[in-house]
Amino acid sequence: MAVVEAGIDIQEILDKLGIEKVNRGASTGSHWFNTRGEQINSQSPVDGSLIASVNSASESDYEAVVLKASEAFKSWRTVPAPKRGEIVRQLAVKLREQKDALGKLVSYEMGKSLQEGLGEVQEMIDICDFAVGLSRQLHGLTMHSERPGHRMYEQYHPLGIVGIISAFNFPVAVWNWNTALAWVCGDVCIWKPSEKAPLTAIACQKITQEVFEANDVPEGVSCLIIGDATIGKLLTADQRVPLISATGSTRMGKSVGEVVGARLGRSLLELGGNNAIIITPSADLKMVVPGAVFGAVGTCGQRCTSTRRLIIHEDIYDQVKNALVNAYQQIKIGNPLDENNHVGPLIDQDAVKMYEAALAQVVEEGGNLVVEGGVLSGEGYESGCYVKPAIAEAKNEFKIVQHETFAPILYLLKYSGSVENAIRIQNGVPQGLSSAIMTNNIKESEAFLAAGGSDCGIANVNIGTSGAEIGGAFGGEKETGGGRESGSDAWKVYMRRQTNTINYSDSLPLAQGIKFEL
């Protein structure tokens, strides 16, 4: 394995994380199955190099994993929640020790900047810390009964197996958003990661395995199964898996939701975003420009919270456009492991084709490219996955603007009149994940946050659309799926609610005063 351009020895990182040249694609903890399925090659979009390979799992491997997870749940659910939380605390300690190596692998396998790779591992640490406190706060309510001598309360119990289907763009954090909460709630987890980032998943399983073995956690509490869509379909249709948490495209989410709904299971869907920032005349441009630029080009536009649209008041439209054009001229594109670069590559050649098709379509529909894009070639860009962030003047009703393109393309939209006009434009897309307004006018900010304002699951004032803190519930509405992960009371989705009534009297009064005498 060669040393990459930024002076980072990838082989040293793989050795530290226990990644082999050819890896097994299924694990229930310390046991790794001798998988013999189709080989999945992980090639870095950074330089096109083959990092390592994984032998994918078969249907029989899947069945063995589910049986082991089902068995593990019977004992894991009886472990007191604070003790489960203590084990998750130790996982956070181990992640802190491996943060540098895992963050670099995330960056090299997925293509996001090194700081973003390290930041993703920090999100894992943060959610573990959150889950530790949560393990002592799985509260239910106590209610007054209408019948004398009765007490009512509710409690939450573990669901069982949580199936996790994750996407390539956040290859480790989203998995841990689910597992840290699910584990302290008493659930067991089966993870089907993206085939585009299998090595980071193996690294996470091995880190977890080390902690779980030290604490005698039953085999099957943390399971990994790597494969193509066939494995995802098995997981989604399985009656033994009460909850499916799926992150990905709206198209994928609709399919998952339909299958899970047909068996009356639960689904937590985190799907597409078409996120906008409204810029009003009172906005501070010193905040607008960095917020919009990072939102649009961070992770090369491959975040579900990436800024896709800027809705700018006509009075300041040219001023904002010119400032953005100037800022884009300063963007450095290259090896994401070099901290001097702002933007790394797209994930693969298919993503590049979608980027090129979107640029062609916006022009075809009547848009104007004010910062032209294009695919970069030559020294440092040998993988063919590096593209230039682009800016296009467009209209909200354009088909391409209504569609989420996972690439660094920013659409400039003009509005006139009141902020309510801008909000209508913002809400006028099928997706409803993240939104923001840049304003120093309190009336405008309150209108944006009110019931008739942004229809998104996330609504920010004077910060961008991209990035979320662990403490808040993360997710969106409409075609974003309606799911909520991470903070607040998102833990409740991983548990089943039970209402209990205790009669400590000597009689049996019925509710609503009903009389039934024998």
Residues with catalytic annotation? 270, 304
Cβ within 8 Å of residue 349, ≥6 positions away: 384, 385
Which among 211, 238, 194, 1 is positioned nearest to 86, based on CA atoms? 211
Cβ within 8 Å of residue 10, ≥6 positions away: 1, 2, 3, 4, 51, 104, 105, 108
The answer to whether 305 and 392 are in contact (CB under 8 A) is no
CA distance 140 to 184: 16
What amino acid occupies position 231? I
Two structure tokens written together for 458:
């996330």
What amino acid occupies position 335? N
CA distance 2 to 210: 28
CA distance 305 to 167: 14
CA 133 to chain centre: 22
Alpha helices in 139-284 (DSSP H): 173-184, 198-214, 229-237, 250-262
